[in-house]
Structure 1
Amino acid sequence: MRQLPEGLSQEGLQFSGATEEDFDDIMGISQGIDGGLDYLPTRYMDWLQETNRTVIVARKQGKLIAMESVFVIDDGETMLVQALRVAPQERGKGVVGVLQRFCSDLVKSKFPDVKVTRLTRDLLLPKDFQKYRLITKQGILLVRFRAEELKLRLSDLGLGDIQSSLSTSFKPPPVRLDNTAVRQLYLTSDRMHGVLPNATIIQDSQPFKLLPSNMAILLKKDIDWMVDDVANPTVTSLCTFPYRVPIGDDWYSLNINMFGTELDPIRQQFLCHLQRHTATLKGHVMCQVFLDPPLWKPMVEFCRNTLNVELVKEYTQQCVVESDVISGGGRRGVGDVGARKE
């Protein structure tokens, strides 16, 4: 990331490009983010090297009090807001609005083709629809288990037996996709447009349009891609490889994005991801599954009754939203509104 000139400031805040030396201070203001499921410790250093990413920190009287990352995607037309962090003692004082306007204007100066801002919110209020356009809503299923215990459970039950019991009709096993198959399925046909919400791939909480440039970004990541039927897909899923989270020693997060509305293929792919990514894992796993909201309850019942894993939270959701960028004037409708810290 290109360094900013020294001395940039707005409304009592001083801004600079984030550095490796800022890591400890950023972690200090991030205590308790997402209930301990913070991904930033594992990604921060990589973010500093990404060409189209801008990571800005804000200081007040020399002390780091806030951070935001903006990632330019969609062939340079969209800026994705992530990892918005504000020190607890500074929340509710307008810091978010100042930081977001600064980042927006900075990114617009570097990427003049940017037209839209995208971000995720936990909850949308009626007034928010004056600011944002809704791309999609996803229910978040959060379960917890020990990897060793789940492996034993799957072994005792027999994964094949579970799969075959999910439906009375014959269902072939899910298909794992290599990079070539991913490009072909997602980019060269319209088959996925009916499965993905608004033709958008959401990886964890990052929404990408179906474009070759975005696919190049995604295929560099450690992601497991799966589909129920290559010829006629109705369900597809992306599983981010497990990463450590700051809950405690030997705690991992496993994130699975599910697309489609058919329950049986959803459960099949969920099981395949669990089996693959817990095979060599030891320790506690917090597994987040993002899925169509009506599927949340039956998936909870499946997790409890069949897999004997613990539900951590009742229903929560993420809303993927966007707003237009206004040249020279910041972003329309993005202020100190408590955006989800993704």
Structure 2
Amino acid sequence: MLQGRSEVLIWIKMKIDTSLSMPQLPEALSHAGLHFTVATEEDFDDIMAMSQGIYGGLDYLPTRYSSWLQETNRIVILARKHGKVIALESVVVIDGGETVLVEGLRVAPQERGKGVAGVLLRFCSELVKSRFPEVKVTRLTRDDQLGPKDYQKYRIITKQGILLVRFRAEELKQRLSELGVGEVHSSVIDSSQEAAPLRLDDTTIQRLYLSTDLMHPVLPNATIIQDWQPFKLLSSNMAILLKKDIDWMVDDLANPCVASLCTFPFRVPVGDDWFYLNIDMFGKEESLVRQQFLGHLQKHTSTLKGHVMCQMFLEPQLWETMADFCQHTLGVELVKEYTEQCVVEADMV
């Protein structure tokens, strides 16, 4: 029985490798009941039906799917069974062509635990090697617990704590006003930090991050992580980032200690009038982290109406004090206890 199963798995791998030796991906490739196709706009509804409840309702794909299909350095692949979409994975080439970032992996609930994800990952890996032979490294971001096999397979680039809270935008806006956030002297900001955090324009961003080494000690492993996407400090990556709707903050241009990126809020399928706000925070000075966190909240709650799921990624050592600040000073609800975001990579083989 085991021998027969091994023979099937070997046959599947051979079928994948042979098919991907072709310079172009076939419109549909079949093996063991699975077909692989490049995703199109017409597949959107089927993908959303398969993705119900994924990521606790914080699925970014509904708002990014169309733009993903337009990116020339990205491929979105679907796995089908009997014509029905059962899995998706996206790969995007970054870091000047040296790294492929794996994103969006999902498998339909009824097909989980059957090895579909592994076959899809293998398929996409071979496809990348065929389409982008200059790629040397696969990188991905995870929020699950890494096991012994993961440590054997991957190198850890960095870890950040995940602080997830929820609130009504109107209520938080009122609370921020009561606390004097935005005023020169606020009761929730260390009085020794009088200067407000600086919002950066494109020119200043490029100068600070690319033309100097000032950000290297601030960023984890000299890596910009923006909404789960890790980027090396390269001009090609900065060109990608500057096309996005992001607020960039830093405490000081001459001697930065804390920097942050806030992705503009977007709707998520938790329910009606639910939004997701993502804040990536870098640096260890708690008072400066708090200051920039409040600055991002103030700006974006001023235009939102409804429920907000706000996820901040920060130094693990700051998680507990910032969670306490969110609950007892801001009066927002903590959604879950401490978890970690791990950026990992492995060599393409």
Conservation of the 8 A alpha-carbon contact between 2:162 and 2:339: yes
Tell me how large the CA RMSD over aligned residues is: 1.5
Report the counterpart of residue 128 of structure 1 in structure 2.
150
Per-residue Cα deviation, 1:214-242 (whole angstroms, up to 9, x for no partner): 00000000000000111000100000000
Deviation at 1:166, TM superposition (A): 3.1
Report the 3-state secondary structure (helix = DSSP H, G, I; strand = E; otherwise coil) of the residue aligned with 1:231.
Answer: coil
Q: Determine if the alignment matches structure 1 residue 25 to structure 2 residue 46.
A: yes
Q: Structure 2: which amino acid aligns with 1:270?
A: F
Matched letter for residue 132 of structure 1? Y
Distance 1:270 1:73 in 2: 28
Aligned to 1:239, the other structure's residue is in SS state: strand
2:223 to 200, 207, 213: 200
Asked whether the 8 Å contact 2:27–2:38 carries over to 1, the reply is: no
Give the TM-score normalised by the residue count of structure 1.
0.92
Equivalent residue, structure 1, for 2:129: 108
- Tell me the distance in 1 between the aligned counterparts of 2:237 and 2:187: 36
Q: Residue deviations 1:94-113, cap 9 Å, x none?
A: 11111011111111111111
TM-score normalized by the length of structure 2: 0.90
Q: How many corresponding residue pairs?
A: 325
Percent identity between the two aligned chains: 73
Q: Alignment partner of 1:207: what SS?
A: strand
Q: What SS does structure 1 have at the residue aligned with 2:299?
A: helix
In structure 2, the CA distance between the partners of 1:280 and 1:191, relative to structure 1 (3 Å rule), is same
Query: Structure 2 unaligned runs (5+)?
Result: 1-22
Equivalents in 2 of 1:251, 1:3: separation in Å? 41
**RCO comparison, higher one (Cα < 8 Å, 6+):** 1
Task: Tell me if 1:178 matches 2:201.
Answer: yes
2:263 is the counterpart of 1:240? yes
> Which is further off, 248-257 or 303-312?
303-312
Post-superposition offset of 1:8:
1.6
User: C-alpha distance in 1, partners of 2:303/2:316?
Assistant: 31
For the residue of structure 2 that corresponds to 1:317, the secondary structure is strand
Does structure 2 retain, via aligned residues, the 8 Å contact 1:238–1:258?
yes
1: CA distance, partners of 2:186 / 2:125? 48
What is the rounded CA distance, in whole Å, between the counterparts of 1:257 and 1:105 in structure 2? 32
Instruction: Give 1:4 deviation, angstroms.
Output: 3.9
Runs of 4+ displaced beyond 2 Å: 2-7, 9-12, 160-171
Distance 1:216 1:158 in 2: 36
CA spacing shift, 1:294–1:112, aligned 2, 3 Å: same
Structure-2 separation of matches of 1:62 and 1:248 = 29
Q: Deviations over 1:297-321 (max 9, x none)?
A: 0001111121111111111111110
Q: Deviations over 1:285-340 (max 9, x none)?
A: 000000111111000111112111111111111111001101xxxxxxxxxxxxxx
Q: For residue 272 of structure 2, what is the amino acid of its counterpart? A: D
Question: Shift in Å at residue 34 of structure 1?
Answer: 1.1
